[in-house]
Chain A
Amino acid sequence: MTDLVFGLDTFGDVPVDDSGQPVSHATAIRQVVDEAVLADDLGVDAIALGEHHRPEYSISTPETVLAGIATRTSRIRLGSGVTVLSSDDPVRVFQRFATVDALSNGRAEVILGRGSFTESFPLFGYDLRDYDELFEEKLNLFVKLLDEKPVTWHGTLRAPLENADVYPKTESGRLTTWVGVGGSPQSVVRTAYYGLPLMLAIIGGPPERFAGHIELYRRAAEQFGTVAHPVGMHSPGFIADTDEQARELFWPHYKVMRDRIGALRGWAPIRRAEYDAEIEHGSMYVGSPDTVARKIAQAVGRLGVGRFDLIYTVGDVPASARLHAVELHGSKVIPMVRELLDDLPRDQETA
């Protein structure tokens, strides 16, 4: 199981300081840089930063933060999670990530998605009615750009390109590119069509319900004659020294965030019992290192994924508790998951 990849993901949530006051966006961004440096020191394989355009998140341009991380780290892969391609320009996205790739000695990986929030559409002048078409067209252009040769392209939602060459070029000749999917089967099929690796956002309910998506991805890739790469999953969680500490510390911050998003999406406020149930049986990886490691090993084993990313920040969890969670994940949880999976019979491992 040595080729399993473990990552940490964040949207740059604004934490509170030790006195309970929210820090500035600038401080929140520097906190993420420090966490990434610690994760690199501890041997975490990847960090991925999401793009959001809301006041509770400090990161709206992941690549700028990733470049800052690049200079201070040596091994950790630097990704976005996700880059909202629909409301961005594929040419600019390529240029920014190729630059991160150069500055990090080839450690950049783009995770493209449609985003689960919609703020970026009015902000950048796009129509939500074009949600599907925007992603489809722009992914099509982005995949062409990945060949790093002059591109001629025509579409309806971006200016055409005539023999346009885009710089800088990467050293490997190909930028690592994933597609992040929240649950839409069409998106899974599209990812297989382009032969790109699939990252599943599994943010609620038992992870096993995504087994069908993974199967669909493999079957579709086979039919398209493309490569089915190891699938990744990303889920939220929080780690503290004991189960009780983790649950109690995380709950009030999680609830505020969950209810804020719920209000936008028509969900009822979350009750404590639902929270506890989600930790027991669902997709929340909250607890001591031992508890979280067992839960991750179980999900990874059952789904046969090749990568597990923990969204380690949800809500305004205090900065110091976050840093401790990163430390526990890198120094305890990941080694324990590897050990647990090594004990599994071979047929349950990554296909």
Chain B
Amino acid sequence: MTGTGLELGLNSFGEVASDAGRTLSDAETLRLIVDEARLAETVGLDVFSVGEHYREGFNDSATPVLLAAIATATERIRLGTSVTVLSTNDPVRLYQEFATLDAVSHGRAQLVLGRASATESFPLFGYDLADYERLFEEKLDLFMRLQTEDAVTWSGTVRSPLVGQRLHPRMRPGGIPTWIGVGGNPNSVVRAAYYGLPLMLAIIGGRPQRFAGHVELYLRALQQFGHPVQPIGQHSLGLVADTDAEAVETWWRYWQPVVASIAAERGFYRPTRERYEAELDQGALFVGSPETVARKIAKVARDLRLNRFDLKYDILHLPREARTHTIELLGREVAPRVRELLAAERTYA
């Protein structure tokens, strides 16, 4: 805990790193991530989360397995996902995997469930993208019941029925912290509120403040559904370096080609230098010196009433030194500075 109610975390999508110009192998990258998580704990960060992807260069296809390796390399940091693609997972297997992770980590497991912005998992596991909504809806219902009920009887259209089913290993009573990740869809915000689950906003482009309406909607919906207030988190991309100039140039070199390829694939915005600078200044990129990034996080934390901020620090081929340095600076300099800024704001308020 940072002491102000704002938790700081790291997200990795298992993206291959480079070392002195050489691209690391998938396996080397996975071992690097375990070291990075260990470092995150050492520098005092609160949460380490990994995503779930099925494409070249991304090594997070078996999320709970990677987290379990981190679990025995750490003692305190909480271990989660960013996000688990519930739609193409089996809630039963997922329960078993996270119950096991929770055991191996002495109760540090949590997860963020989402529908994913990449679609590779649908054909890979034999699902139809046309069922996107229904898959998530039904599986969320089943997953929450598995976590809260002892023996579950369930039937639906996206999976075979269960009759008085108990799962093993048993999860801790009440289940593990489960967040809903949303990319901007108001229906998803309302669904999170309906279940009374914490909300993780994935803000990967544009002004984060435009999500203020979602936050209002979420808090109002929670109240209407009769649930207590739940934590709100933000996931965004970025890099921390010793100076603004160094951070801005390093990130540009690795971010530009990635966004260019997503732009071609998903009709995302084109990564022009102008757009990049706008993202740095007012947008969703948290790139800069510790002071710059701390100010930006503190501002958005206040504007969006955040309880948690996760920085996604890896991007394809980013040198391992830059990744390591981001983690060190985030824990040792950004976190205390954010704490200071938020405390000062409270004093003036």
Binding site for B on A (CB under 8 A): 12, 24-30, 33, 52-55, 57-61, 63-72, 89, 91-92, 95-96, 98-103, 105-106, 122-125, 158-159, 161-162, 164-171
Contact = CB atoms under 8 A, between A and B. Distances in A.
A76 to B, nearest CB: 14
A70 B69 contact: yes
B92 A168 contact: no
A211 B170 CA distance: 41
A167 B61 contact: yes
Given A61-B97, A68-B71, A99 B168 contact: no
Contacts of B169: 12, 25-26, 28-29, 58-60
A104 to B, nearest CB: 8
Interface in B27-74: 27-31, 34, 54-59, 61-62, 64-73
A6 B30 CA distance: 28
Contact of A61 (B29, B61, B66, B96): B96
A65 B68 CA distance: 7
Interface stretch (B100-108, B267-275, B284-292): B100-108
Interface string B3-26: 000000000001000000000011
B223 interface: no
Given A124-B90, A169-B26, A60 B69 contact: no
Given A28-B169, A58-B168, A167 B97 contact: no
Contacts of A164: 123-124
Contacts of A67: 65-69
Contacts of B34: 71, 103
A162 B70 CA distance: 33
Interface string B69-84: 1111100000000000
A55 B124 contact: no
Contact of A99 (B62, B72, B126): B62
A72 B101 CA distance: 15
B134 to A, nearest CB: 17
Which residue among A28, A60, A68, A162 has the maximum number of chain B CB atoms within 10 Å of its CB? Answer: A68
Interface of B: 14, 25-31, 34, 54-59, 61-62, 64-73, 90, 92-93, 96-97, 99-104, 106-107, 123-127, 159-160, 162, 165-170, 172
A167 B56 contact: yes
B103 A171 contact: no
B101 A64 contact: yes
A122 B167 CA distance: 13
Given A68-B71, A101-B27, A61 B168 contact: no
A64 B27 contact: no
B62 A95 contact: yes
17 contacts: A25-B168, A26-B172, A55-B166, A60-B96, A60-B167, A64-B104, A65-B100, A65-B104, A68-B104, A71-B71, A72-B72, A91-B124, A99-B61, A103-B30, A164-B123, A168-B27, A168-B30
A88 to B, nearest CB: 8
Contacts of B170: 24-26
B31 A169 contact: no
A64 B65 contact: yes
Nearest to A69: B72
Which residue among B25, B100, B106, B160 has the maximum number of chain A CB atoms within 10 Å of its CB? Answer: B100
Contacts of A26: 99, 102-103, 107, 169-170, 172
A105 B159 CA distance: 36
A169 B92 CA distance: 27
User: Considering the complex of A and B, which 10 residue pairs feature the smallest CB-CB distances, nearest first?
Assistant: A159-B126, A125-B160, A25-B169, A102-B27, A168-B26, A26-B103, A67-B68, A68-B104, A102-B30, A99-B62
Nearest to B30: A102
B103 A29 contact: yes
Nearest to B16: A168
